[in-house]
Amino acid sequence: AEIVKKFEDKYEFRLKSQVKSRKFKPKVFEDFWHDIDQIIDQFGEETQELYQKLILIEAMYAKVPQKWCLPLIERLGNGERVDIVKNIPEQYYLPLKKAIRKVNLNSKPVWEIFVLALLDPNSL
């Protein structure tokens, strides 16, 4: 929604005139890619937080105890940078690997859009 709003605000006059004339010139909008990149950068940090929270939620479903996951989710929500792998005991690495693999695959298009560095489950 934010991308659409920014586009409409930036090109309001041009859009109205092109709709009126029923002639559309796409080249007029070519420089909008810079705005899209800026928005993606803006949401990149939030996406990293979301990615880590999703892994921790999946880890709980995979039987990693809540006592390890919930405090990390809370710290992430407070804006802290957290190494979720380092903060979970090794004995839970197998279910954590499964959670990482699942989150990486299920939301792959989103992670690619935001050029997110994914955790490698094989590195555990």
Q: pTM of the predicted model, to two decimals?
A: 0.72
Q: How confident is the model at residue 115 (pLDDT cuts 50, 70, 90)?
A: confident
Among 5-14, 24-33, 59-68, the range scoring the smallest mean pLDDT is 24-33
Q: Give the pLDDT confidence score for residue 88 in this predicted structure.
A: 96
Report domain extents, the chain. Answer: 44-123
pLDDT in tens, 32-59: 888 888 887 778 888 999 999 999 999 9
Six-digit token pair at 16?
Answer: 């109205």
CA 70 to chain centre: 20
